[in-house]
Each structure stands twice: as structure tokens, then as C-alpha cells.
Amino acid sequence: MKLLLSFLCALVTSSALGADLERGKTLYSQLCFNCHGPTLDGGQGPSLRDQYWRHGSSPAAILEVINKGVPGSAMIAYEEVFPEADRLALRDFILSEQEGMRETVRSVYPVEYFKGKRFAPKDFASVESLSQTPLPENHYYFKRNGVGVLRGNSKLYIKTAGEYRFSIGPIGRTSIFLNGEEIHYSDANTDKKTHFNKTVTLQPGVHDLEIFHEEKKSHSYRFRAVLQQVGGKSFALTGRSLEGNIPKFIKARPGEALVVRKWIKDLPPRTLMCLLSNQVIVALNPVDGQIIKAWHSAEINQTPSLPDRSAKPSEVTGTPIDQFKSSPLKSDSLRFLRYQIKGESALISFKTQDGEKTVAISPEGAQSFSISIQ
């Protein structure tokens, strides 16, 4: 009887959770997809699937943003708009789409206390940390020339059931505990026969992850760790600090156009990006005066390389406009002179064989633009 009741309780809970996630998915498709993209990968707003969570990645932090909004952004407060059940369903749907580490906190402990001791969670309860830092990047890093024992606490979100294994660089000493069990142990100063690295079977859900690491002081921290699904994807557990930076996006201000030159992915390096007040972006080639591409509901992400600190070019996030009028400017002899802003219009001036000509690009409706010659 007890087993039957437990089964029925689990069945009801699973059904209720499934219904809640469906409601959350419906709300997301109605409210959130315009800014955060249909698959949560970002658009006008940040991605809700990658590692970087500026305002926190815990269930409480995500619900707080849903409830209160983000001042100074397009994210409004829904606390007075939708009932609590809907807001919780939306939060739970977002959480169901997560993979990798979240709620990551880095604590640093004095080295002296752990000399000659094997790392174990219980030992950290009896000594005070030197610092505790939430990491919005959700990967571990250490300041240059830093000294101390790193203790990392994270929630590990798994979406795909399978066998997983940690890959750890042979630097210093490292212990990893997953759901309270030590999964990895290595120490560059001990016999490798004492080391181990278990392959574990993980089910979809949220798992408790603790990482302990110590290495000699050096100019840069060299600890590298990856969680690899056997035959599947991998998750970086270490990386570099964003050093206080946050993802930066460029878009026009209300009632005023903006022209910028950025190294944009898949566009010529001298392209002029005309950002209009209706969130349309028009890419104009100053070499021949022609329109290359255009997007609506768009902005420029000038920091797509922040998560891995690479050198990626800026990217346009938005919906491509497939059909638009080409520039009426035709000339065998064309030289770009300057650009200027006049209200909601971007004015691009050229010297032609017939004298100076100016291309005016202006917003038209909610998702288009007009182009004319002055």
C-alpha cells in the first residue's frame, strides 16, 4: 500500500509539473520570445540558456526578475500582471531549459589549514573562508597571483541522460564531489596510482557539484576542468573572468537614428550600420552606396566573445528583412564623404560625377525603412 501511494504521489507530481511546464512554455511564447528568442538563445534581450546570468541563475533570482523586472531595460515587472502560479510556471520552464553549471559560488580558504589534508567537504565547515564570490559567468577562475584553496559550489543542470566524465588538467591537486560522492581525485605531487576519475551515469535534473583545487602561486591560474558526456557535448567548468564587464548591445534611442562602424560578422569591414528608432538596422556599403542587408527587431551585440574572451566580431541579432528597396544611388565614380544624423534619419553623403548626393535612410512603419536621395 505504501509503495502504491508513493507511486501515485509521484505520478500526480509529475503530471502537475508537466502541466506547469506547458503553461510556462505557453507564457514564454506569448511574452518573452520577441526579446529572448523563440529558443531562449537571445535577441534584443540576453540569452536565457548560456552560462552568463547577470542577475543570478537561482530559482529565486530568476523569479525576482520576472516579478520586479529590470529597471532601465525593456524587461517589465509581471508581479501585478500575472498570478503567482503563472510566474512560477514561467520560471520553471526557463529552468527546465538550462544545461551546465548555475548558481556558482567561489570560496577561497587559507592554504595553511589544508596542508597535508585530503580535501573533504566536512573539513571546510570548521574553517572560515577568506572570501565568497557569486560568479555570474558560471565557471571558475582565480585572480592573478592569487593564493588560496578554491572551493566551488554549483548546481549542475543535466538535460540528457548518459555517462559523464570529468577531464582535469594535471596542475596542483583537485577533488570533485558530485551529489556528495567523490568522483575525481588527482595530485601532481603524489603517486598517480592513488588518483581516480570515475565515469558516472547522470539522469536529467539538478545535481550538487563541489570542486576543490589548489595550485602553486603563479602569474595566471592554470586550473582547467571540463565535464564531458561520453559521445556527447561538453561543459567548461573553468574559464576567464569577465572582469566586471557585461554584454553590451547597441541600438538607436527613441526618436533618433544612430550610425556606427563595427567589425560585424559576415559584412565588409567598412560597412555603415544605420540603426533606426523603430529597431530596424540597415547595413550600407560606403564603397558603392548599396544596401547589403537589413533586419527588424534588431540590435548589435558588440560583445559576443565575452563568455570565452575570444576575438569574435560583433553580431546583429534580429530578424532579417528579405525584401527591401536598393539604393537609387547610381554612379560610376563614387566616393564616401561623411554621415550625419537628422532626427530619425541617417544621412550618408557621397561625391559623385554629378556632384554631392546624400542617401537618407528613415524608419517606415514598425518593421521597415525607406530610402531616398537628397
Most confident of 30-34, 162-166, 297-301, 370-374: 162-166
Q: Topology of 11-96 in CATH?
A: Cytochrome Bc1 Complex; Chain D, domain 2 (1.10.760)
Mean pLDDT score, 58-84: 92
User: At 125, is the secondary structure helix, strand, or coil?
Assistant: helix
Provide DSSP, 87-129.
HHHHHHHHHHT--EEEEEEEEEE-SGGGTT----GGGGGGS--
**Strand 355-364 to strand 368-373: parallel, antiparallel, or no bridges (unpaired)?**
antiparallel
Question: How far, in Å, CA of 341 to CA of 339, rounded?
Answer: 7
20: how many CB neighbours lie within 10 A of its CB? 19
pLDDT (average), residues 133-140: 92
Per-residue pLDDT averaged across 350-356, rounded? 88
Dihedral (C-alpha) 220, 304, 106, 174: value to the nearest 10 degrees?
-60
For the cut 80, the answer to whether the pLDDT of residue 17 exceeds it is no
Angle between helix 59-68 and 84-96 (nearest 10): 130
What average pLDDT does this structure show over 47-54?
A: 87
3-class secondary structure, 193: helix
For position 334, what pLDDT does the model report?
86
Structural domain boundaries in the chain: 11-96, 100-236, 249-373
pLDDT-above-90 percentage for the chain: 53
The average pLDDT across 38-49 equals 80
Superfamily of domain 100-236 in the CATH hierarchy: Galactose-binding domain-like (2.60.120.260)
User: Given a cut of 70, is residue 312 above it in pLDDT?
Assistant: no
As a whole number of angstroms, the distance between CA 318 and CA 299 comes to 7
- Provide the pLDDT confidence category of residue 332 given band limits of 50, 70 and 90: confident
Segment 261-278 mean pLDDT: 86
CA–CA separation, 259 and 274 (whole Å): 5
Give the CA angle between residues 174, 175, 176 to the nearest 5°. Answer: 125
User: What confidence tier does 7 reach under pLDDT thresholds 50, 70, 90?
Assistant: very low
Mean predicted confidence (pLDDT) in 128-135? 93
